[in-house]
Amino acid sequence: MKTQGAQNITLQPKFLWGLKGDVKQNIFYYDDQTVIYPCGHNVVIYNMDDKSQKYISGIEGSEGITAMALSPAKKALAVCERSDRAICCVYDTNTLKRKKILTSNECQAKEFVSVNFAPSNEKSMLVTLTSEPYQVIIWTWDKAKCFTF
């Protein structure tokens, strides 16, 4: 029910504390003053110099972050989440915008337990390991396709 003069209000966190310790590879240095880590259902990008934070929120409906990886050139961040089917999102670290959502119909697992970028071809190759039934999936993430599994 709306009242006369009511406005839409959006709440946004100002500061998040804590580290979600059960996430694999759970803290990264982006540069000398910036760290990236999971906190609850968010990824926090914390600048130690000016003590500011930016956030990447988890996908609505997912059950939480399970694994993360920062590309070798630090241009992309992969964040895996538990859901009905395992999800891995790749974000641009400069804009914090989601580039791709990776999920496979062939994969029956609910989560990816590990993720990493290929060191020689980070622009397009990503590898994930699912929970049981264990599967290794290699992605060409820029096209959101399974390369092999």
CA atoms within 13 A on the CB side of 132: 0
Instruction: Tell how many helices (H) and how many strands (E) occur in the chain.
Output: 0, 12
Q: How confident is the model at residue 1 (pLDDT cuts 50, 70, 90)?
A: very low
Percentage of the chain surpassing pLDDT 70?
A: 84
For the chain, the distance separating the N- and C-terminal CA atoms, rounded to the nearest angstrom, is: 51
Contact present, 79 and 47 (Cβ < 8 Å) = no
Mean pLDDT for the stretch of residues 88-103: 92
Averaged pLDDT for residues 29-46: 91
As given in the structure block, the two tokens for residue 113 are 């337990």
Provide the pLDDT for residue 15. 58
